[in-house]
C-alpha cells in the first residue's frame, strides 16, 4: 500500500497528502495485525498444562516404611517414581566405582540429599526411550549391577541408578525434592 | 409458470389446513372454554429482588468482596454441606478467595475425602488435599439436593435467586390461604420465592446460627447474601477476570475500528461525488 | 468469469512468478477477493454480511478445534469436561464463550445476509445457483448448531436432542425406527452423543466446502447491488481490494465490538440456565426451548395443533405432529423454489412499491412474531398468534410473491449503477477507481481518480 505509483503525476503537495493518507492505512493494518497476533495467545496457551494438572505437580511420599534394600513405586506427574532405601553394602559398592569411568559421571552423594545418604529417589523412566525399568518391586531383575534393569533395550543401572551398560545415555533422573519432615519427601 | 401455480396451490392448501383444523378450533376453545383454574399456590408467589444494595460483583465494574466470599464459604461449610455437594470446585480453588497456600492446605485437611488407605488398600476416609474436589454427599432423605457448584448459573438471575430463596421462608397469609384453600403439603415448607411456593428444603438459616470468623453479625439476611456471593464465585470463578479482559479487548477494538473507519473513508474519498 | 476490464494479476518478483507458474494460488485470491474482482461501486452495508459470515465460520472452526482438545464425548464426563474447560484450561472460559456466542453471531449475520437477499431479490437469475447453495449452507448450519448444542450434555442439550430427533418419529411407518437409528438407542445416550460430536466436527468443513462453491458461483455473474441493475460498464465497478476490503474491515470491527461485548459481559444471555444442570433422563425441564436462532421455525412446528381429519367422521388423515414437521421443513425448503416463484424482472425492492410494502409490513413483522412465539410457552394466546403468523409466512412466499410479481408496476430503473450513484448524463465521464494506471491494486485512490485519459 505504501508504494503508490499512480499518484506520482501529482505535485509534491499532493505527495505530502498521499503520505499522510498512507499513514492511516499502515496504522489500521498494523493494529489489525496486533489484534490478530494477540488472539493467538489464548489459542496457544490453552495447550499448556491446565490448573488441575499444575496443582497435581507435587507429590508427597512417606518414606518411613521403606526397609533397607527395599524400594517403593510412587507416581509423580503421572510417571513412576522409585524410592529406594540402600543397604550399607549397596552404598559401599556405589562409592567404590571410579566416577571418571562412568558414562554420566555422578557420585552417589550428588544423587542423594545430605543426611540421607541411604535414600535414593529417582524417576522410574529409562533415559533411553522412556520404558519403566525393573528392579523396584520384590523379585524383579536388578540387572548386572544390582540397581535397575530396563528390559526394553537392555540398559543396566547400578545401585546409585547410574547407567553402566546398554544404550541409555544418562543416569535415571533425580527429580527435585525436599524433606518436609524426617519421614516425608515432597517431590516437584 | 407451473412452479408458481403449484406454489400458490400449496400455499393456499397449507394455510387452509392450518386455519381450519388448528386455528379455528383453538380460537373457539380459547374464546368459549372456561380458562384453566390457576394453581392456588400462584397467589402466594412473590418475585424477589435480591439483597438490599445488591452484590459487590454486580455491574460491569463489579469485583469480588473477598471477606464476603470467605464468610460465604463458612456458611456453606457449616450449613449447606450436610446436604449439598460442590463437586466441580477443588480446595485449591479456595486460594482465589484470598487464602494462602498453607491456609488452603489446612482447610482441605479439615474435610474428609473417600479414598483408599495406602497401607491396607481398604476403602476409607482420608484428610483432604488441595488437589481434591469437594466430596460427594450421601443424602439419606427423599430426593436429591442439587449440587451447588453451578446453581447461580442454573437459575435465572441466580445470585439474587439464591438470596431470595434463603430469605423467603415464613407462613402464608392465613386469611388468604383459608379463602383459596391453600395448604402447604406435609413434608414441604412454604417459601414465597420458590416457583410453586412449596419447597422440600426446610429453612436452613436462622439468626446467629454460626459465628463468623471476622466478627460480622450472622443475621439470616447476612448469611444468605454471603453464601449467594460464594455460590456465584463457585459457578463462575473467572467472572471478574473476564470483565477486566473484556474492557481491555473492547478498548483495543474501538481504537482499531476507528482506524479502520478512517482508512475506509480515505480509500473511498473522491469516489463518491455528491449527487447532482 | 469476470468483466473484461478486470485487472490481471501480475507477479512482481521472481518468486511470485515461479509460484504463479506452479500453483497460481495468489492469482486465485487476487481474482476472488483482490483487485482482480470488479464489484458494483454502490453496495451498502447490507453487503458486508457475506464476508462476516465467512469470518464467523472461521471463528467457530478455530475455537471448536481447540475446545475439542479438552472435551470428551461421553455421557459420564461430558458435562464435567466442559466445566474443566471453564475452570482449569488456560483461557478455556474465553474460548468456550466465544464458541457459544460465535454460533449466535454466525446466525445473526446469516439472517441479515438472507434478508438482504429477500429484499434485493438476490436469488433471481442469473444468481439462482448462489442462492441454492446458500440455502444448503443454512441447512447444514442448522444441523451443526443443533448437534453442537447437545455436546455440553446439560438438561437442554439432552431434552433438545430428545425432542428434535422425536420429529423424525412423526414420519409415518418408518419414523420410529429412524429415530432409534439416529440416536443409536431409545433415548439420547453415549451413542448419540458420540456421533453428534463426530458430525459436529465434520460438518463445518463441509460447510466451508459449500461456501467455496457459493463464492465460485458468485464470481460468474458478479455481485448483485442495491439497484438491481446489472453492471454495464467499467465505471459501474470498483476493484474489491482495496475498496471493499476496507469497508469489510470496518464492518468487521463494528461486529467484533458487539461480539466481544457479549462474550465478556453477557456470555450466558443467549443461553438457557437449564443447560447448567447436568442431563437427567428422568426429569424434563418445565419449559423446553431451542436456541434462539431456531425460534421462528419452532413456532411453525408448534402452530399445527389439530390433526387433519375428515370432518364428522373422526378419521385422521395426517397427525398434527407430522403436519408441524412438514411445515417446519417446508418453510425452509420452499426457499429452494423462490427464484421461480418471484418472476418480477425488477430485482431491488427499492423499485418495487408493492413488494416493498409486503416485505416491511408483511414478512418482517411475521418473522418477528414467529421469533417471539417460538421462545414463548406453548399456551394461548401465543399459539393463536403464531398460527396467524405461520399462515402469512406461507402465503407470503407461495401466494403473495407470485401474484405481485405479475401485477406490480415497478418504478423506473436507473440506466446504470453509475447513473444511480452520480446522476444522469455524467456516466461516461464518471470518475472511477484507478484500474488502468499503476500495477499496484492497493494504491491510495485519489491520485488515480482521473478520467481514463
Q: What are A129-176's pLDDT values in tens digits?
A: 989 999 888 888 888 888 899 989 989 998 889 998 889 999 999 998
CA-CA distance, C392 to C132, in Å (whole number)?
A: 23
A30-34, A57-61, B2-6: range with highest mean pLDDT:
A30-34
- CB contact, 8 Å: A100 with chain B? no
| pLDDT value of residue A135 | 86
Measure the N-to-C terminal CA separation of chain C; round to a whole number of Å.
Answer: 27
C305-314 b/e with 16+ CB inside 10 Å = b? bbbbeeeeee
Residues of C in contact with A53 (CB under 8 A): 88
CA angle, corner B8, sides to B4 and B11, nearest 5? 130
Cβ-Cβ contacts under 8 Å, C59 against chain A: none
The answer to whether C305 and B26 have CB atoms below 8 angstroms apart is yes
By three-state DSSP, how is residue C451 classified? Answer: coil
Between CA C68 and CA A46 the distance in angstroms is: 11
Chain B 182-221, residues with CB within 8 Å of chain C CB atoms = none
Asked if A46 and C66 count as a contact pair (C-beta separation under 8 A), the reply is: yes
| pLDDT of res. C441 | 37
DSSP assigned state of C377: -
Q: Spell out where C33-179 has E strands.
A: 38-40
Q: Out of A93-107, C92-106, C338-352, give the one with best mean pLDDT.
A: C92-106
**For residues C291 and B212, what is the distance between their CA atoms, to the nearest angstrom?**
43
Cβ contacts (< 8 Å) between A31 and chain B: which residues? 252, 255-256, 259
Residue with the larger pLDDT of the pair B30 and C299: C299
Longest dimension (CA), chain B: 95
C414 touching B, CB under 8 A?
no
Judging contacts by C-beta atoms under 8 Å, the chain C residues touching residue B14 are 327, 330, 394, 398
Q: Name the residue among C243, C249, C422 with its Cβ closest to that of B268.
A: C243
**C232 CB contacts (<8 Å, ≥6 apart)?**
C415, C416, C417
DSSP β-ladder status, B189-190 and B198-199: antiparallel
Chain C residues with CB-CB distance to B143 below 8 A: none
Residues 6+ positions from B275 with CB-CB distance below 8 Å: C421, C422, C423
In the numeric block, which cell numbers belong to residue A185?
519427601
Collect all residues of chain C within an 8 Å Cβ-Cβ radius of residue B156. 273
Q: Is A142:A126 a contact under the CB 8 Å cutoff?
A: no
Contact C66 A6 (CB under 8 A): no
List chain A residues with CB under 8 Å of C80: none
Rounded Cα distance, C39 and C306, in Å: 51
Is the minimum CB–CB distance between B19 and chain C shorter than 8 Å?
A: yes
C256 touches chain B (CB under 8 A): yes
Report, as an integer, the average pLDDT of C361-365.
95
In this prediction, residue A18 carries a pLDDT of 54
Contact A48, C90 (CB under 8 A): yes
CB contact under 8 A, A7 and C446: yes
Q: Does C69 touch chain A (CB under 8 A)?
A: yes
Chain B: partners with 3+ C-beta pairs within 8 Å = A, C
Q: Are A7 and C446 in contact (CB under 8 A)?
A: yes
Q: pLDDT tens for residues B42-64? A: 778 888 888 988 999 999 999 99
Q: Which chains are adjacent to chain A, needing at least 3 Cβ pairs under 8 Å?
A: B, C
CA distance C67 to chain A (A): 9
What's the rounded Cα separation, in Å, for the pair C222 and C58? 24
In this prediction the ipTM stands at 0.92
Q: Given this model, what pLDDT does residue C425 score?
A: 57
Which residues of C are designated catalytic? Answer: 219, 223, 247-248, 291
Burial state string for B139-175 with b = 16 or more CB within 10 A and e = fewer than 16: eeeeeeebbbbbbbbbbeebbbbbbbbbbbbeebeee
pLDDT, position C109: 97
- Cβ–Cβ under 8 Å, residues C265 and C144: no
Q: Distances in Å between the alpha carbon of C184 and those of A2, C187, C189, C202?
A: 60, 8, 8, 19
User: What are the pLDDT digits (tens) for C94-129?
Assistant: 999 999 999 999 999 999 999 999 999 999 989 999
Classify each residue of C84-115 as buried b or exposed e, where b means 16 or more C-beta atoms within 10 Å of its C-beta: bbbbbbbbbbbbbbbbbbbbbbbbbbbbbbbb
Residue B153 has a pLDDT of: 95
For residue C157, which of C82, C211, C264, C91 has the smallest C-alpha distance?
A: C82
Sign of CA dihedral B239, B244, B250, B256: negative
Verify whether the Cβ–Cβ distance A24 to B262 is below 8 Å: yes
CA distance A43 to C62: 9
Is the Cβ pair C444, A25 closer than 8 Å? Answer: yes
CA distance C437 to C449: 10
Q: Are B154 and C155 in contact (CB under 8 A)?
A: no
Cβ distance of A32 and B260 shorter than 8 Å: yes
Q: Which residues contact A110 (CB under 8 A, 6 or more apart)?
A: none
Mean pLDDT taken over chain B: 89
Grid cell locating B142: 427423599
Helix (H, G, I), strand (E, B) or coil at A149: strand
* A7–C69 C-beta distance less than 8 A: no
Q: How far is C249 from chain A (nearest CA, A)?
A: 9
Q: Is the pLDDT of residue C432 over 50?
A: no
Tally Cβ neighbours within 10 Å of residue C321. Answer: 18
pLDDT: which is higher, B87 or A2: B87
Mean pLDDT for C188-199 is: 95
- Determine which of A14, A18, A30, A31 to mutate to test the interface with B (most B C-beta atoms within 10 Å): A31
Would you call B110 an interface residue with chain C, using a CB distance cutoff of 8 Å? no
Q: Find the range with the poorest average confidence among C349-363, C384-398, C406-420.
A: C406-420
**What is the average pLDDT across C142-165?**
94
Rounded to the nearest angstrom, the gap between the alpha carbon of residue A184 and the centroid of all alpha carbons in its chain is 22
Asked if residues C180 and C168 have their Cβ atoms less than 8 Å apart, the reply is: no
Scan residues 127-146 of B and list those with Cβ closer than 8 Å to A. 130-131
Contact A50 C92 (CB under 8 A): yes
Q: Cα separation of B261 and B267, whole Å?
A: 10
Task: Residue B260: list chain A partners with CB under 8 A.
Answer: 28, 32
Partner-chain residue, chosen from A18, A50, A51, that has the shortest CB–CB distance to C447: A18
Q: Which residues of A participate in catalysis according to the annotation?
A: 153
Find the closest chain A residue to C252 by CA distance.
A32
Amino acid at each position: 500500500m505504501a508504494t503508490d505509483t499512480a499518484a506520482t503525476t501529482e505535485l509534491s503537495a499532493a505527495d505530502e497528502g498521499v503520505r499522510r493518507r498512507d499513514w492511516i492505512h499502515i496504522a489500521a493494518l498494523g493494529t489489525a495485525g496486533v489484534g490478530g497476533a494477540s488472539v493467538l495467545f489464548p489459542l496457544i496457551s490453552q495447550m499448556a498444562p491446565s490448573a488441575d494438572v499444575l496443582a497435581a505437580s507435587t507429590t508427597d511420599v512417606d518414606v518411613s516404611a521403606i526397609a533397607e534394600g527395599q524400594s517403593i513405586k510412587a507416581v509423580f506427574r503421572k510417571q513412576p517414581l522409585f524410592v529406594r532405601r540402600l543397604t550399607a553394602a549397596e552404598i559401599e559398592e556405589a562409592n567404590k566405582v571410579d566416577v571418571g569411568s562412568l558414562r554420566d559421571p555422578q557420585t552417589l552423594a550428588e544423587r542423594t540429599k545430605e543426611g540421607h545418604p541411604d535414600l535414593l529417589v529417582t524417576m522410574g523412566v529409562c533415559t533411553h526411550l522412556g520404558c519403566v525399568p525393573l528392579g523396584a518391586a520384590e523379585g524383579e531383575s536388578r540387572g548386572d549391577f544390582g540397581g535397575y534393569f530396563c528390559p526394553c533395550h537392555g540398559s543396566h543401572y547400578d545401585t546409585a541408578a547410574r547407567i553402566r551398560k546398554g544404550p541409555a545415555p544418562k543416569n535415571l533422573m533425580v527429580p527435585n525434592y525436599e524433606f518436609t519432615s524426617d519421614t516425608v519427601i515432597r517431590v516437584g | 409458470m407451473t412452479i408458481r401455480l403449484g406454489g400458490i396451490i400449496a400455499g393456499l392448501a397449507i394455510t387452509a389446513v392450518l386455519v381450519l383444523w388448528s386455528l379455528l378450533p383453538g380460537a373457539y376453545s380459547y374464546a368459549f372454554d372456561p380458562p384453566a383454574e390457576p394453581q392456588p399456590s400462584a397467589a402466594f408467589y412473590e418475585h424477589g429482588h435480591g439483597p438490599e444494595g445488591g452484590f459487590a460483583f454486580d455491574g460491569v465494574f463489579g469485583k469480588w468482596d473477598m471477606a464476603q466470599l470467605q464468610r460465604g464459604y463458612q456458611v456453606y461449610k457449616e450449613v449447606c454441606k450436610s446436604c449439598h455437594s460442590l463437586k466441580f470446585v477443588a480446595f485449591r480453588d479456595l486460594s482465589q478467595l484470598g487464602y494462602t497456600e498453607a491456609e488452603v492446605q489446612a482447610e482441605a485437611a479439615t474435610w474428609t475425602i473417600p479414598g483408599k488407605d495406602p497401607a491396607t488398600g481398604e476403602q476409607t476416609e482420608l484428610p483432604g488435599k488441595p488437589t481434591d474436589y469437594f466430596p460427594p454427599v450421601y443424602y439419606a432423605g427423599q430426593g436429591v439436593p442439587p449440587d451447588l457448584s453451578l446453581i447461580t448459573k442454573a437459575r435465572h438471575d441466580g445470585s439474587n435467586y439464591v438470596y431470595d430463596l434463603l430469605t423467603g421462608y415464613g407462613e402464608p397469609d392465613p386469611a388468604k390461604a383459608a379463602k383459596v384453600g391453600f395448604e402447604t403439603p406435609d413434608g414441604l415448607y412454604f417459601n414465597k420465592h420458590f416457583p410453586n411456593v412449596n419447597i422440600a428444603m426446610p429453612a436452613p438459616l436462622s439468626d446467629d446460627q454460626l459465628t463468623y470468623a471476622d466478627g460480622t453479625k450472622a443475621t439470616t439476611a447476612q448469611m444468605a447474601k454471603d453464601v449467594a456471593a460464594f455460590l456465584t464465585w463457585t459457578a463462575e470463578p473467572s467472572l471478574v477476570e473476564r470483565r477486566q479482559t473484556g474492557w481491555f479487548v473492547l478498548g483495543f477494538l474501538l481504537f482499531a475500528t476507528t482506524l479502520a473507519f478512517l482508512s475506509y473513508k480515505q480509500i473511498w474519498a473522491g469516489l463518491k461525488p455528491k449527487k447532482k | 468469469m469476470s468483466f473484461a476490464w478486470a485487472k490481471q494479476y501480475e507477479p512482481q518478483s521472481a518468486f511470485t512468478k515461479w509460484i504463479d507458474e506452479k500453483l497460481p494460488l495468489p492469482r486465485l485470491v487476487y481474482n476472488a477477493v483482490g483487485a482482480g474482482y470488479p464489484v458494483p461501486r454502490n453496495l451498502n452495508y447490507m453487503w458486508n454480511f457475506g464476508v462476516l459470515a465467512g469470518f464467523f465460520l472461521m471463528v467457530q472452526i478455530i475455537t471448536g478445534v481447540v475446545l475439542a482438545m479438552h472435551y470428551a464425548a461421553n455421557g459420564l464426563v461430558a458435562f464435567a469436561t466442559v466445566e474443566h474447560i471453564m475452570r482449569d484450561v488456560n483461557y478455556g472460559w474465553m474460548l468456550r464463550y466465544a464458541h457459544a456466542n460465535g454460533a449466535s453471531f454466525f446466525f445473526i449475520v446469516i439472517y441479515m445476509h438472507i434478508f438482504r437477499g429477500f429484499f434485493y431479490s438476490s436469488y433471481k437469475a442469473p444468481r439462482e445457483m448462489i442462492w441454492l447453495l446458500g440455502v444448503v449452507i443454512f441447512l447444514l448450519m442448522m444441523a451443526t448448531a443443533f448437534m453442537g448444542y447437545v455436546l455440553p450434555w446439560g438438561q437442554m442439550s439432552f431434552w433438545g436432542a430428545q425432542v428434535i430427533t422425536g420429529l423424525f418419529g412423526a414420519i409415518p411407518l418408518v419414523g420410529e425406527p429412524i429415530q432409534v437409528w439416529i440416536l443409536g438407542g431409545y433415548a439420547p445416550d453415549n451413542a448419540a452423543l458420540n456421533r453428534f460430536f463426530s458430525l459436529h466436527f465434520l460438518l463445518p468443513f463441509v460447510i466451508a466446502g459449500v461456501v467455496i462453491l457459493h463464492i465460485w458461483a458468485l464470481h460468474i455473474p458478479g455481485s448483485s447491488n442495491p439497484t438491481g441493475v446489472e453492471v454495464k460498464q467499467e465505471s459501474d465497478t470498483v476493484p474489491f481490494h482495496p475498496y471493499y476490503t476496507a469497508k469489510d474491515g470496518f464492518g468487521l470491527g463494528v461486529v467484533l465490538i458487539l461480539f466481544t461485548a457479549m462474550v465478556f459481559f453477557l456470555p450466558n444471555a443467549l443461553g438457557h440456565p437449564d443447560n447448567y444442570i447436568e442431563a437427567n433422563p428422568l426429569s424434563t425441564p418445565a419449559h423446553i426451548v431451542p436456541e434462539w436462532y431456531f425460534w421462528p421455525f419452532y413456532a411453525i412446528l408448534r402452530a399445527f395443533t389439530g390433526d387433519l381429519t375428515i370432518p364428522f367422521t373422526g378419521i385422521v388423515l395426517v397427525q398434527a405432529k407430522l403436519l408441524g414437521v412438514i411445515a417446519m421443513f417446508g418453510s425452509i425448503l420452499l426457499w429452494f423454489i423462490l427464484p421461480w416463484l418471484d418472476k418480477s424482472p425488477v430485482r431491488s425492492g427499492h423499485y418495487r412499491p408493492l413488494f416493498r410494502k409486503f416485505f416491511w409490513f408483511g414478512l418482517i413483522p411475521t418473522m418477528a412474531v414467529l421469533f417471539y412465539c417460538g421462545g414463548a410457552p406453548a399456551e394461548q394466546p401465543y399459539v393463536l398468534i403464531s398460527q396467524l403468523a405461520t399462515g402469512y409466512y406461507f402465503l407470503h412466499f407461495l401466494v403473495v410473491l407470485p401474484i405481485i410479481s405479475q401485477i406490480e408496476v415497478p418504478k423506473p430503473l436507473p440506466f446504470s449503477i453509475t447513473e444511480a450513484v452520480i446522476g444522469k448524463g455524467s456516466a461516461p465521464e464518471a470518475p472511477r477507481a484507478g484500474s488502468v494506471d499503476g500495477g499496484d491494486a492497493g494504491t491510495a485512490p485519489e491520485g488515480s481518480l482521473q478520467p481514463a485519459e
